[in-house]
Structures are given as structure tokens and as C-alpha cells.
């Protein structure tokens, strides 16, 4: 597939809810929509990073500059027989995995459209719908949290994840557990704690959580291994896993027993399959994470989550939870906690061009 031209578009999209985590509050998303053109087809991607480096290091202005000034000029006018060869072209640049993942996602969409096949099939996916839960932000009160948990469960979601931070953790988790004795519950700390907080995590064991997501530093593995050996509940790594190598090292030292796999964080779809295969070799499960994606990224995540070891419910909940209006025509909606997999070629989505144009703040068009 030859990449003939590319379009970058910065859009902003208001969230339907205020999403508070230990690292801050989000009320809207800013997304770069990338379109690659080749052989009469279009391939789409969207980015996950924001203006500030509060989750991992990458930023939206950094991604724009790298795509426009380095990555796209490197691939424009060139032919790549498959995504592996595209990846080899950009793999030598250090880090910036979320930015590389955007280019790679658009190429997968374009390439699979060339093959006339849906992404999930080309990847070797094994299911037609994926189990999903929801990620609840830090709410203003315990009562408000209990209401949202009840709503999520009655909507059929298969797991409820609660964001925690120091001072908003054990009491919250025990109260939700008491109100919903059978629910599949987890917590996500987004790196807000240190090894000085072992007592807090020991107390959380009583909440019978499926796992505790990313309790310690965003770039740590060793302290997570120490914490894992001191508590009964499984640790799930999110921020700390940025590559297949990270996954291997984490599992080798026992830094956790579950991985939240976000394709963008590890460099894209190919790297996700590698992380998946490593976790599988340890006999452990993964689940599909989320970064409050709009339709393009949400669809891509759904395709990747058809791989065999995505057995735990992921964060890819219904698009209508997040957006008044999405940027794609298809409605990505879960029923009874199961999200159907798009079946058209590539990502299987149609961009709402008019709507995307209306919310565009900046564009760039590049040719070979
Ligand atoms: O830590 O999983 C996280 C959203 C943005 C950044 C980090 C995280 C999240 C979520 C929301 O938990 C997942 C989603 O609903 O897309
Ligand atoms: Mg997380």
C-alpha cells in the first residue's frame, strides 16, 4: 500500500461527564484525527494524549510536531507491503509510542481496506463481541458514587472500576463492596501512591477487588513487585507498560498479575499483539483499557480486544456515555455488557466529515 497524502486535524469534543482522576479533571478531549490517503482509499486514526503530560509524557503539541515534521515526511510517497514494514521504518525513533501508534493505526485501517478485510480478522481475533465495564471518575460524594455504580450495573456492565486517590480509597471501596456484594469491582490509582502506603493496600484486600490498577509510579516496576508480594489482591499495570519488553520484565519480577493493554501506550496494534502474546505465555489475562476515545480509537480498541487473552471486561463502554455526538456514523454501543465488533473493512467505520470539520481547530495537509 502506497501512502500518497496525509491530513492532520485537531478537534475538540466535550465530554458528557466530568472525569476526575488522581492526576486531574477532564471535561473535554482534544484529538488529532489523522487520515492517510492511498490507492483511492482512506485510513483513519486518532490520538490519545492531551495538552499536558499528566498520564504519560507525550503531549498533543509534541505529537502534532512529530507527525507533521518527522514521521509523515518519512513515509509519504512510499509503499509499505504490511504494517510490520511501516513499523520498522519508525521503530528506531525513541519513545513517543502514542504518536507512532496513531500513524500505525491509520495504516492498518488503510491496508485492511486494501485487503477488503476487517481488522479483527486480519489480526487473528477470536470473538464477535467483547466484554466491557465502565471506569468511574472520582465523584463528589459516596452517595453519588453508589448511584453511578448502581446505574452501571443495571446497564449490564460487567465490571465497575473506581478511581481512587489518597484519602478517597479504603472507605470508598468498602462501602461500594457492602452495597454490591457480588459485583466485579476494581480500583485505579493512576500512580498516586508509594510503598509508604502498604497499610492502605492491605486494608483494600477486604474489598475483594478483582485487581488494583497502577498503584505506584507511572514508570516503576520494582516497587510494584514489592507491593504485590505484600498484598493478596492482584496488581494490574497500566502506565508502567509501554512495550512488549516492559510486559516481559514486569511479569518476570512479579510486578503484577494482570495488564491493562492500551494499544496507543505500547506503540500501536502490532506491539499490542506482542504484549498480548507475552502475557499469554505467562498464562495471565489482559483487558482493553481506554483513554476516553472517540469513535475511531474506540473501534480500533474493540478490534484488538478480539484477541484470545482479552478475557477480563475492558473499559471500552458505549460511545453514548461519553459524547452527545460521535465523530463516526456507526453507534458503538454495548448491550448487556457486550460490545459488538465492527464488521466492515479496516476499522469498519465511516467518518462524519461535516461534524469533524465543524469541530476542527487546526489542519495540515501533506503530500509526498
Ligand atoms: O488510567 O485507565 C486510565 C482515562 C484517561 C486516562 C487514563 C485512564 C482513563 C480511564 C478511562 O480510566 C477509560 C475510558 O473510559 O476510556
Ligand atoms: Mg488506568
pLDDT tens by residue, 146-167: 999 999 999 999 999 999 999 9
Whether 210 and 147 map to the same domain: the answer is yes
Cell of 335: 448491550
Q: What is the chain's mean pLDDT, rounded?
A: 98
Is residue 315 within 6 Å of ligand 1 at its C-beta?
yes
Whether 128 and 69 map to the same domain: the answer is no
Paired strand residues for 259: 237, 286
Whether 33 and 107 map to the same domain: the answer is yes
pLDDT (tens digit per residue) in 4-33: 999 999 999 999 999 999 999 999 999 999
pLDDT (tens digit per residue) in 321-366: 999 999 999 999 999 999 999 999 999 999 999 999 999 999 999 9
CA of 164 relative to ligand 2 center, distance in Å? 11
pLDDT (tens digit per residue) in 290-321: 999 999 999 999 999 999 999 999 999 999 99
Paired strand residues for 19: 26
Instruction: Mark whether 362 is an active-site residue.
Output: no
Which domain does 98 fall in, by range?
Answer: 5-116+349-367
The length of the chain in residues reads 368
Nearest ligand 1 atom to alpha carbon 134: 15
**pLDDT tier at 279, thresholds 50, 70, 90:** very high
Looking up cell 465543524 gives: 358
Whether 101 and 138 map to the same domain: the answer is no
Nearest ligand 1 atom to alpha carbon 190: 1
Give the mean model confidence (pLDDT) for residues 49-68.
98
Q: How far apart are CA 366 and CA 72, in angstroms?
A: 8
pLDDT for res 112: 98
Q: How far is CA 287 from CA 183, 248, 309, in A?
A: 17, 16, 8
Whether 177 and 302 map to the same domain: the answer is yes
Q: How far is CA 215 from CA 185, 220, 235, in A?
A: 15, 10, 8
Q: Whose CA is nearest to atom 1 of ligand 1?
A: 190
* Percent of the chain scoring above 90 in pLDDT: 100
Number of structural domains found in the chain: 2
CATH number, domain of 69, equals 3.30.390.10
Please report the ipTM that was assigned to this predicted complex: 0.99
CA of 292 relative to ligand 1 center, distance in Å? 6
pLDDT for res 34: 98
**pLDDT tier at 62, thresholds 50, 70, 90:** very high
pLDDT for res 71: 98
Q: Whose CA is nearest to atom 14 of ligand 1?
A: 290
pLDDT (tens digit per residue) in 281-290: 999 999 999 9
Ligand 1 pocket: which of 50, 57, 292 to mutate (most atoms <8 Å of CB)? 292
Instruction: Mark whether 163 is an active-site residue.
Output: yes
Whether 145 and 91 map to the same domain: the answer is no
pLDDT for res 214: 98
pLDDT for res 33: 98
Whether 108 and 253 map to the same domain: the answer is no
8: closest CA among 79, 70, 54, 55?
70
CA of 249 relative to ligand 2 center, distance in Å? 19
DSSP 164-192: -BTTBSHHHHHHHHHH-TTS-EEEE-TT-
pTM over 0.90: yes
pLDDT for res 277: 98
Catalytic residue, candidates 148, 163, 312, 362: 163
Q: How far apart are CA 194 and CA 210, in angstroms?
A: 21
Backbone angles phi, psi at 366, to 5 degrees: -125, 140
Ligand 1 pocket: which of 20, 55, 165, 289 to mutate (most atoms <8 Å of CB)? 289
pLDDT (tens digit per residue) in 233-258: 999 999 999 999 999 999 999 999 99
CA of 225 relative to ligand 2 center, distance in Å? 18
CATH number, domain of 178, equals 3.20.20.120
pLDDT for res 177: 98
pLDDT for res 274: 98
**Ramachandran bin of 264, using left for φ above 0, alpha for ψ from -120 to 50, beta for the remaining angles:** alpha
Whether 162 and 128 map to the same domain: the answer is yes
pLDDT for res 131: 98
Whether 330 and 211 map to the same domain: the answer is yes
Whether 327 and 363 map to the same domain: the answer is no
pLDDT for res 216: 98
pLDDT for res 46: 98
Q: How far apart are CA 209 and CA 212, in angstroms?
A: 7
Whether 167 and 310 map to the same domain: the answer is yes
pLDDT for res 103: 98
Nearest ligand 1 atom to alpha carbon 322: 15
**pLDDT tier at 129, thresholds 50, 70, 90:** very high
84: closest CA among 259, 273, 247, 249?
273
90: closest CA among 270, 244, 249, 218?
270
pLDDT for res 155: 98
Whether 36 and 166 map to the same domain: the answer is no
pLDDT for res 273: 98
**pLDDT tier at 229, thresholds 50, 70, 90:** very high
Amino acid at each position: 500500500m502506497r501512502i500518497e497524502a496525509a491530513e492532520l486535524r485537531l478537534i475538540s469534543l466535550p465530554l458528557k461527564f466530568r472525569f476526575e482522576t488522581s492526576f486531574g479533571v477532564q471535561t473535554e478531549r482534544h484529538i488529532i484525527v489523522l487520515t492517510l490517503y492511498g490507492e483511492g482509499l482512506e485510513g483513519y486514526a486518532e490520538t490519545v494524549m492531551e495538552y499536558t503530560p499528566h498520564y504519560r509524557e507525550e503531549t498533543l503539541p509534541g505529537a502534532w510536531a512529530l507527525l507533521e515534521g518527522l514521521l509523515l515526511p518519512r513515509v509519504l510517497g512510499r509503499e509499505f507491503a504490511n504494517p510490520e514494514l511501516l513499523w520498522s521504518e519508525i521503530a528506531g525513533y525513541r519513545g513517543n509510542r502514542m504518536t507512532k501508534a496513531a500513524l500505525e493505526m491509520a495504516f492498518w485501517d488503510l491496508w485492511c481496506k486494501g485487503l477488503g478485510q476487517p481488522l479483527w480478522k486480519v489480526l487473528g481475533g477470536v470473538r464477535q463481541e467483547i466484554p466491557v465495564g465502565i471506569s468511574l471518575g472520582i465523584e463528589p460524594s459516596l452517595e453519588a458514587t453508589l448511584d453511578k455504580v448502581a446505574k452501571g450495573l443495571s446497564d449490564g456492565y460487567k465490571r465497575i472500576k473506581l478511581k481512587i486517590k489518597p484519602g478517597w480509597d479504603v472507605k470508598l471501596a468498602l462501602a461500594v463492596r457492602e452495597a454490591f456484594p457480588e459485583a466485579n469491582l476494581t480500583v485505579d490509582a493512576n500512580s498516586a501512591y508509594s510503598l509508604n502506603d502498604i497499610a492502605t493496600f492491605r486494608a483494600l484486600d477486604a474489598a475483594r477487588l478483582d485487581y488494583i490498577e497502577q498503584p505506584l509510579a507511572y514508570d516503576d516496576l520494582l516497587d510494584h513487585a514489592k507491593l504485590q508480594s505484600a498484598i493478596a489482591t492482584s496488581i494490574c499495570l497500566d502506565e508502567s507498560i509501554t512495550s512488549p519488553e516492559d510486559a516481559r520484565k514486569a511479569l518476570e519480577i512479579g510486578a503484577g498479575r494482570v495488564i491493562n493493554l492500551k494499544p496507543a501506550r505500547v506503540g500501536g496494534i502490532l506491539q499490542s499483539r506482542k504484549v498480548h502474546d507475552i502475557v499469554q505465555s505467562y498464562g495471565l489475562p489482559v483487558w482493553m483499557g481506554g483513554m476516553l476515545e472517540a469513535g475511531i480509537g474506540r473501534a480500533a480498541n474493540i478490534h484488538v480486544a478480539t484477541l484470545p487473552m482479552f478475557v477480563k471486561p475492558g473499559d471500552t463502554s458505549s460511545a453514548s456515555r461519553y459524547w452527545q455526538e460521535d465523530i463516526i456514523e456507526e453507534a458503538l454501543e454495548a448491550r448487556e455488557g457486550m460490545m459488538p465488533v465492527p464488521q466492515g473493512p479496516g476499522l469498519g467505520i465511516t467518518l462524519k466529515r461535516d461534524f469533524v470539520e465543524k469541530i476542527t481547530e487546526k489542519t495540515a495537509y501533506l503530500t509526498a
